[in-house]
Structures are given as C-alpha cells and as structure tokens.
Structure 1
Amino acid sequence: MFILRLLFRSLMAIAILLGVALAVVLYYVANPKLPLWSPAQQVHYLDQWDDADRQTYYFTPQGTQVKGLHYDWFTALELPFSQQRFASPEYLARFGFLIDPSQKPTPNNPGNLPVGFARHQNPGSADTFLDITCAACHTGELRFNGQAVRIDGGSAQHVLPSSVPTLRGGSFGQALVASLAATYYNPWKFERFARQVLAGDYDSRRQQLRNEFKASLDTFLKVAWNDTHRGLYPTEEGPGRTDAFGRIANASFGDAISPDNYRVANAPVDYPQLWDMWTFDWVQWNGSAQQPMARNIGEALGVGATLNFFDRDGQPFKGDDRYPSSVRVRDLHLIEATLQRLAPPAWPEELLGPIDKPLAAKGRALFSENCAGCHVPRTTQGEGRNVQHLKMLPVVYIGTDPGAANNIADHRYDLTALQWNPAELGQLDVEPKPTHPLDLSQMSVAKGLAYVTAFVANRAYREAGITLAERPEMDGFGLPIGVRELRAYKARPLAGVWATPPFLHNGSVPSLYQLLSPQDERSTTFYKGTFEYDPKHLGYRTEAFTNAFLFDTRITGNHNSGHEFRAGKLGNGVIGRLLQPQERWALLEYLKVLGGPLESQLP
C-alpha cells in the first residue's frame, strides 16, 4: 500500500508540474510580449495624393475574409486576460499597424481600425467579413522627434502573418487565435461577445453564432497546428516581412489540394513600396509577374480570399465552374487605378532636416557613376503608360540571399487533382504558351499560380459583369498573365528610397549607409520593431528596446551579403568600387532628393 500511495503521489506531482508548465506556456502564448506604443504628437501626410485617394486605398476591400472571421466578431473580441477590446487602435498599434491618434470611425471604417483593415460583404449574404487589404502591408511610417511621417505605398513594419505559437509571441496571428480561443472557451467572455454581436437577436441566434464562431476558430487552430508541426516557416519573419510566395503556395496548393504540396518557406521578403509600380514591365522581387490583375488576385488569395477547387462531393470544378472565390475584381481594379496617382514621398525638410545642397550635388555625380547603370531603367512608350524596363540582376552576380529566388525556381507542386487539360490551358491568357505538354505533377509556383489566377479571374469577371471590352483595362493595359522564373532580383528605381528601410529584398540591411558599405561593416544582428527614424544614416534605429525583434543575418533567409561596394573583381556580390565614407554621405544626401521637387534645386 505504501508503494501504491507513493506512486500515486508521484504521479499527482508530475501531473501538477505538467499542468503548471502547460499553464505557463498558454499564458505566454495568449499574452504576447509586444513593444510598448505611444501616440505621435502628430501624423504628417505628405503630398503623395489627395485625402480621397488615401481613404480609398486604406479601406477598399479586396475580397479577403481571414478564415471566416466576421467584421463584427473581430471588433467585439476581448483580450484573453481582460475585457479590453482586441481591436482597439492602441492595442493593434503595438503589432505595428498604423493608426492616427486623431482618427474617428467613418462609413468606410466603422470599427475605427488601423490602415488596411476593411470589411466586405459577399453578394446574397448579410454577413460582413474582416478584409485585410494591400494597404495594411504597403503603408509605412517614420517617427522623428515625436512626429510621425506617413509613407503611403511604403513598407509596413507590422508582425501580421504567423499564427505559429511561440513563448516570445509578438505576432498578430498568434494573439488573434488566443483571443478567439479565450472567447469561445470562457463562458463569461462568450456571453459578453454574443450580446455585443447579436444585440436584439441574442435569444434566437446565440447557438448559431457559437457554432459559426467555432468553425472559424477551428480553421485558425488547424492552420496553426499544421504550420507548427510541419515546421513550414522556420525563419521567423518578424516585423515587416513575409515569405509571400511560400505562404500563397502553401495555402493554394497545400491547404486546398493536398498536404503533399506543403513546402518549407524559409525566405521572407520585405513588403516593397508601390509608387510607380504600375509603370514597371515586371513586378515581384524576382520579376516573375507581369499582369496587374493576376498579381493582385494572387496577393488576395495569399492574404485570405476564399478559393474552392473542388465541389461538395470532392470532385474538381471544370469548365466555367472554375474557380469560385471571394476575390472582388472591381475593387482590386479601383485600388490599382488609385495607386497610379501615388507619387513618391518627397523629403520633408521641416520634419527631418534641411538638405545640404552642395553635398547632394556631389552625390548626384557619384550616383551617375555608381548606381544609375542598374537603377535607372530604360523607358519605352506602352499602351497607356511609359514602361520602365527594370534590370534583373542574377543572384550569382548580385550576391544577395538566394533563398527567395531559388525557392520560386526550384519548388514543384502536384496539381493533377485539378484535372486541367492542355487545350484549356492553351486558351488562357497566360504567356508564354506551353510548347510541350505540361507535367501537372511538377508545376512551379509561378506557373501554377498563373493558371489558377487566370481561372479565378475568368469566373470573377463573369460574376462581376465585366464585358470583353472592359477586360483589357481591368487586366491592366491589356497585358497577358506573363510568367518568368529567374534566379534574379530586380533593381528598381530609387525615387523615395530614403523612406523604405530596411534594405535588400529580405530587409537584412538596416540603413542606406550600411547598404553602401562592405558587408563586414554591416550589422550582423540588429533590433527591429520601432518606427524611430535615423535621418542621418537613412534607416530605422536599431538599438535594443523592450520586446524588440532581434534580426540575425546568420540565419537562412536573413543573409546580408551582396550589393557590396568594395575593392575586388565585380561579381559574386561586388557591384562597385569601394566608396569612401565622405562619398557615402554625399550619395545619401542625393538619395533624399532623387525624383522629388528638391532635386531641381541642386547647384
């Protein structure tokens, strides 16, 4: 008996310890370590476009619906350990989302949410869904001396994508799942939530709400578990980055078709700036996409637009039934047309300091000598636009982290379950046309997404009543869905580059000064997550602060090699001669004014 009692007590002690350990884990998962946030004294908007265009860009939905999460559910959620509203602007700002302390609810933003948090309603339904738009990821902000400078079309610095639970926490996805779970499993929270959402319909619809809410929660939990136990995202993205192609491919080909299609996505990229993007011949960091609508549909699918490949019986859709989605093509076109009026940001001397014009003039000559060959593209006249033909620099030459380019070129997916036939594919507006039968069991992400977006667009256009005469404009300048698979990165024009830190495609170099320096002078590790700007070095400040994200350039996908100005033979990452410190300062001064009104004032 003594031995049995001892065994029982030992087992109870182990169970208690495991329970305590689990409680600690759950506490930190549900209570992420976020940076503190304080409002700016004032948010300053530059003359990039007018306020109407800004509001259109910020809050026009694109058809995402974030795993079935309703808009009114999101605005009614509480934090796991308090009654504070999860969607309060002050809390969401701690994840890096952008708010204006003076903002108020508007018809386009009734929940008073940050930039890029919109809502949409599907045809024939009374439900409204949370719609995360491109503005959430492509709007930036700089802080200096207590003032905030909004950079429309710039690079966001939020921690949006990951729902993989970690003790460090800090991601919006993880925190959202924790609040959803706490609301469902805590009866007092759910009671307050249901009364807020249902109001007068509480008695008749409470159970229906609970069932629908659980279905959405289960979707979030399934994704979190899947991403975690498969180790799909081993390189932590952190503020301002996501492995866009990897996530879109895993959602479109893994979640929706077969688990065999999941691929490790270990090459996060920065959110690129959008001004002048409509003039580029090819877009994406690796220059793989050509048509604006196809690119935007792919982005919407990656962020959470619904996409169905199979009917309720598990059979693949065929013919005109391909593919039902929640993508809103008219709204995507509206956003694209609005962005065509977006100007690059001009350096605000009254906020960030005056320009040293003689020094900038010296920088202009250095730019012509060292930078213009790659970053000033050839321009031709296209249909309705001046086309900038961007240079694509091979990875072996530019020497920057090859992960993103290699993954897109190498990863293959089995799409045979979709039962595409060659004749159908040949009729789609995808270029280049296949010159031999495609092996659907070995499709690349670029080609696979090109065909998927073509099918999605065809159906979405029909459902939106888009005529054949309207379609070239909706597509974007009558362009086909062009596909390229290059082991290369684009060299884009540099107007407004001062407002887009950090630098290189993966955000591994914190300032422009370091980008003009040899790799051994760049920071191996630095801290991210602040908007505090350094107007001397042209980058975010990198000192440690509470709950900062430590960026380690030694990790796969994070390398800060390449694009070096140093002594040695050109190639293998060396793109120019060593620049002396005084030359780097001159170049920085010129990059502040490049493409802006102050450039014409240089001596």
Structure 2
Amino acid sequence: MKTWIALSLTLLSSLSLAATKTYSDKEFADASRDFLFSDFGSINQHSLASNSNSIPKQVAMTALVMEGRRKGWIGEYSQDYKAVLARFGFYTPSVVLNAPVSMKADFKSLPMGMTEREIEMGLGIRITAVNITCAVCHAGHLYDEKGQATSQAWMGLPNTSINMEGYSQALYQGMRIISNNMSGTFRLMTNMFPEMTFKERTVYKLAVFPRVKKAVRNMEDLYKQAVPFSNGGPGLTNGVAALKMQLGMLDMSKVQPEFGFTSIPSLGDRYLRTSLLWDGVYASPKMDRNHEKSSWNDEDENFINAVAALFTIPTMGQSTDGALANIPRVQKALSVVFNKYEAPAYPGEIDIEKATRGSVVFENNCTKCHGTYEWQGQRPKLVSYPNRMVSQENMGTDPLRWQAVTDKFAEQFNKSSLAKAAIIVKANGYIAPILNSLWATAPYLHNGSVPTLWHMLHPEQRPTKFMVGGHNLDLEKVGVKLVLNETTGVWEYPSDVKPFSQPVVYDTTKPGLSNAGHTRPFAKLSEDEKSDLLEYLKLL
C-alpha cells in the first residue's frame, strides 16, 4: 500500500544553503520594499527622453485603455487599465506571502511589478512616469492543493506568465491611437486622472502628446512595432537584444533576427553561481567561472548583485552610469532578499517512498550537472553546485541564446565601463541550472519550450505547440496543465481552467523556441525510475 504524505509549508520550508546571516525586521522590510517597488533610479530624464522603458504614466495607461477598448478586452467605456495589464501577466496579489509582515504592500494604483515616480523636467515641470521593478519577473504565483493559481505571490519565484512582448505591442498600438486622435485621447486621459493640475494637462497637451506622435511615426517608418526585436512571449525575456539596443549596439533601422529567448529562473541559491544567465555570459573578473562551490562569501554576493544592477539597463532602460552608480543600493537590497529566500512547498501530495527512490535516481544521473543535495527528512538542500558548462554538442538544446552573444558584442562590452562590474565570456552551450523551486518554474529548458517535467523526462512526447500564460499547475506531470486539441494539434488548457492572463500558443518550430535537447540523461531510465525521479523533483 502506498504511503502518501501531504507535506505542509512548515515541514518543507528550509533556508537556502549558507544563509547564515541575520537581518533585522527593518532590514528585511526595506530590502523587500526595494525589490517590489523600487525603480533603482531608472525613472529619470535619460530613460524618459530616450523613449525607453520609462513612460509618462497618464499617457501609458490611457494608451492601454484605448487599445483595450479597440480589441474588446474591456468595455466600450471602461477605464480599467489594470484589467488590460492583467492580460499580460501583471497582477495584483492579495498578499506577498514571504514578505515581512511589517512591510505594507500597496498595489492600489499599479499592479505588482510596476512603479511610478515624479521626474523634475526643469522650469518647475514635473512628470509622473512608470517603469517596471524586479518583481515584474521575479515574484510569481502560488498554487493550491488542486493546482489552481491563488492570489498569493512569492518573491523570488519567476512570473512565468509575464508577457513583455504583448505589453509592449499593446502600448505601441495604443500610442498609435493617441497619435491619430490626440484631442479625444486627451479628454479620456483627463477623465481617467482628474487629479491632474491645469499645469500638468498643459504640459501633456503641448509637449508630451506631440512627442508621442513623433515617436510613433518613427516606429511606423522603421518596423511597425515597439522595438526592432521580439521579447518572445509569456515567461520569456530577450535580455541580450535589449542590452544591445540600450548600449547602441543594435541596428535600429529595421527588425533584427534576435532570438536569444530565455525563461525566468527562481532566485534560490543564486550565490552559488560563478557566472550569471543560462550561458554564464557574465563572469567576475576576479573569479574562476567553472568551479564547484559549496558556500558563498561577501565577494560572491557583491559580484552577483553588481551584475543584477547591470540588468537595470536592458530591463528598466537605465543609463550605464546610472546602473553603475546604483550598484550599492542593489547590493544592499538583494543581499537580504537572496539570503532570506526560502523555496515554497509543493502544494500537492508527495509519495515519500517514491521520492526516496527518486533521490537515488537523481544522485546517479543528475548531480554531475545540477549539484549535490542532502536530504534528511525535510526539504533536500543543495550542498554543492558544479557550475558546469554543458557544450552544445552534448546538450543539443536551441543554440540561439548563446549564439546571440557575438564576438563584437563581447568585445564592446568588455571595453566599456560596465567591465568594472562584470566581463562577458562567450559560451558554446549552457550552464546546467540550479533546481531550487523547480516545480514552480514551468515551462522548462532555457527557453521555456517544455511544458512539464514529465515531458522533460519523455522527450519523444514533448508538445510542438502548447498554451502558456495564466496556467494552472498539473500536479501529476508537474508544470502547465494541458490537454490535446485533436483538431488543431495544439495542447490547450482544460475547459475548466480560467487563465489569469491571456494565453499564447508557444510554437517550438519558431527560431529560438526549439524543444530539442537534454535527452541523454533520460534515455537509459525505466518508466519506474522516471516516475520516482519526478516525485523527488517536487521536493526541490
């Protein structure tokens, strides 16, 4: 008879490896507040003037409402811009469950992952602009015992439904509406934001709206979309292309074949990395990038956090100087959040007997790349991580992400001031990922091309096309809950699933989205061994 044990949050919660530092409640609250709400100085005249990620709030939200009305996403007279944002994975949680109780999370004006701040433009003119925060990608949904998404968020989990491609395209289309009907849009904006002063309304009418029209005309002339590359879709980013654009290394005259898509990881045990991103492209000038680690120190933390500060350039539109200047603040916030991170417990039941057998399968087949775990009755703890680079020849996964880092890009980056924080090292494959919080990070592989862990273990049955975004959790296969539509051949959500964001069909035949590779470890496993391994992976 099977022994099924429902493991509670209390039983399974365990601190990440080497999290020996202690922090006061105030330090944790301050760090969490920065993680959730801070723009880290990226809302400024530079990012606003460069038509970058910072956008005047009233213009952005009005544009989304206009596009939402046109597409029928909201009612003909609705002004609910948060409902439009929700389609793209921005959501308003009831609680951030692992944030300190003393920190009040206010999401009344904007959903989690967005923030606003006033910019002083000179001559007494101030504009309120919006931008994204760390939480837009790194605060994900939790699920209940039935696999249904809850309203609870967890800092450090990936937001696997955030669709920056859809969001940017909706903004672009909304801006087109504004440029073609500026007087009507202005009336809507003043109705949506009645608190605007006469001076603010005048600035928008005489200065901001004409600038929007000019920017839209430029985009229409060049590539008829927000930026000259794709961000992929739900749960994906295209950080290399975005960084190239921000640093002036991307041809802006036409759409570029940049397909270096990556999925968003969990932030658990990050300090065991000697390099960052799936291909380990960012390395410390002072650190051997391919060596095994079983602990971390302040130098390790400073390196990882400095690279994270550089990420504000492609994600938030921060200037190079601004990113470097904000390294101390980013380091202070992330050191606390990363060290305090605990992986949430798998919400379903776990067969401990099977998981125990699965731990042996994992030890014999997976530790060489993914690290060694100790398991003494609670959650397995990562005690050693190899930082192993797996070559393209051995892995066989889609190569377009690591190939996006060209020799020219690496050379220019390493000659810039950014090399003070990290250097770029070209790869020929990918670093096997840390598996912290694995159950909550579907879909899998570096480009999110495999919907469940079961499909990872059964490469020959990986779907070619499947829905992603706003999914329920499949408690058996562990990942996106899907059923096959026999007519279309697309794996879709079951009829009883109500997605919390707009699903998009992931097509693995498209550039950068292949689901090939990572097959050798499973070829020699029996079905029983695969089933046992899957049960163990639920614990990580």
Query: Distance between the aligned counterparts of 1:131 and 1:328, measured in 2?
Result: 16
Aligned match of 2:336 in 327, 335, 338?
338
Structure 1's 137 and 405: CA in aligned 2 closer, same or farther, altered over 3 A?
A: same
| Partner of residue 291, structure 2 | none
8 A contact 1:377–1:390 mirrored in 2: no
1:218-367 correspondence runs (5 A): 218-219=214-215, 222-223=218-219, 226-228=222-224, 232-233=228-229, 237-254=232-249, 259=252, 263-290=256-283, 291-307=303-319, 323=321, 328-348=326-346, 352-367=347-362
| CA displacement at 1:372 relative to structure 2 | 0.9
Q: Which residue of 2 aligns with 1:557?
A: 512
Corresponding residue for residue 139 of structure 1: 139
Q: 1:449 aligns with which of 395, 398, 413?
A: 413
Counterpart contact for 2:282–2:425, Cα < 8 Å: yes
With over 3 angstroms needed to count, the CA separation of the structure-2 counterparts of 1:366 and 1:241, relative to structure 1, is: same
TM-score, L = length of structure 2: 0.72
Partner of 1:319: none
Verify the 8 A CA contact 1:377 1:493 in the aligned structure 2: no
Matches within 5 A, 1:51-62: 52=29, 54-62=32-40
Identical-residue share of aligned pairs (%): 21
Q: Tell me how far apart the structure 2 counterparts of residues 368 and 243 of structure 1 sit (CA, whole Å).
A: 33
Q: Give, in whole Å, the separation in 1 of the partners of 2:451 and 2:161.
A: 16
Q: 1:324 to 1:563 in 2, by over 3 A?
A: closer
Hey, what does 2:130 align to over in structure 1? Answer: 130
Letter in 1 for 2:172: V
Q: 2:85 aligns with which of 88, 92, 95?
A: 92
The within-5 A match list for 1:185-224 is 185-194=181-190, 197=193, 199=195, 201-202=197-198, 205-207=201-203, 209-216=205-212, 218-219=214-215, 222-223=218-219
DSSP 3-state at the match of 2:135: helix
CA distance in 1 between partners of 2:523 and 2:204 (Å): 67
From the superposition, tell whether residues 109 and 449 of structure 1 become closer, same or farther in structure 2 (CA, over 3 Å).
farther
* CA offset digits 1:409-452 (Å, max 9, x no partner): xx35xxxxxxxxxxxxxxxxxxxxxxxxxxxxxx22x3433444
Gaps of at least 5 residues in structure 1 are: 1-43, 163-170, 309-322, 379-385, 413-442, 458-479, 565-573, 595-603
The one-letter code of the counterpart of 1:79 is V
Alignment of 1:459-478 (within 5 A): none
Distance across 1 between alignment mates of 2:416 and 2:120: 22
Would you say the 8 A contact 1:529–1:549 is kept in 2?
Answer: yes
In the TM superposition, residue 370 of structure 1 has moved relative to its aligned partner by 0.8
Q: Is 1:528 matched up with 2:521? A: no
Secondary structure of 1:527's counterpart equals strand
- The code of the aligned residue for 1:496 comes to S
The verdict on how the C-alpha distance between 1:98 and 1:452 changes in structure 2, with shifts beyond 3 A counting, is farther
Q: 1:107 to 1:344 in 2, by over 3 A?
A: closer
Answer whether contact 2:161 2:470 (CA < 8 A) is retained: no
Distance 1:138 1:231, change over 3 A: closer
Question: Match of 2:455?
Answer: 514
Task: Give the structure 1 partner of residue 530 of structure 2.
Answer: 584
- Written as runs of structure 1 = structure 2, the 5 A alignment for 1:154-169 is 154-162=157-165
CA–CA separation in structure 2 for the residues paired with 1:225 and 1:275: 44
Deviation at 1:269, TM superposition (A): 1.1
In 2, Cα distance between equivalents of 1:288 and 1:579: 32
CA distance in 1, matches of 2:14, 2:340: 5
Q: Does 1:504 align with 2:445?
A: yes
Query: Could you say which structure has the larger radius of gyration?
Result: 1
| Structure 1 position 405 matched with structure 2 position 402 | yes
Amino acid at match of 1:593: L
Sort the Cα spacing of 1:355 and 1:361 in 2 relative to 1 into closer, same or farther, 3 A: same
User: Offset of 1:358 from its aligned partner?
Assistant: 0.8
Give yes or no for contact 2:278–2:430 (8 Å, CA) kept in 1: yes
Unaligned runs of 5+ in 2: 1-8, 16-24, 44-51, 70-75, 97-102, 284-302, 374-382, 484-491, 494-498
| Cα distance in 2 between the residues matched to 1:273 and 1:585 | 24
Aligned-pair CA distance for 1:541:
1.3
Matches within 5 A, 1:96-135: 96-101=89-94, 109=106, 111-121=108-118, 126-135=126-135
CA shift digits 1:213-265 (9 cap, x unpaired): 4324544664565444899547x71211122112221332246xx64898521
Q: Report the counterpart of residue 420 of structure 1 in structure 2.
A: none
- Partners of 1:589 and 1:355 in 2: how far apart? 7
Matched with 1:466 is none
Q: Secondary structure at the match of 1:551?
A: strand
DSSP 3-state at the match of 1:303? helix
Query: TM-score normalised to the size of structure 1?
Result: 0.65
SS in structure 2 of the partner of residue 555 of structure 1: coil
SS of the equivalent of 1:341 reads: helix
> Which digits, 9 at most, give the CA deviation of each residue in 1:542-574, with x for residues without a partner?
34259632212122211111111xxxxxxxxx2
Amino acid at match of 1:361: T
User: Using the alignment, how far apart are the partners of 2:229 and 2:107 within structure 1?
Assistant: 34
Structure-2 change in CA distance of 1:153 and 1:223 (3 Å):
farther
- Give yes or no for contact 1:512–1:537 (8 Å, CA) kept in 2: yes
Q: Does 1:395 align with 2:392?
A: yes
Amino acid at match of 1:363: G
Q: CA deviation at 1:183?
A: 4.2
Q: For the structure 1 residues 225 and 293, does the alpha-carbon distance in structure 2 shift closer, same or farther, using more than 3 Å as the test? A: farther
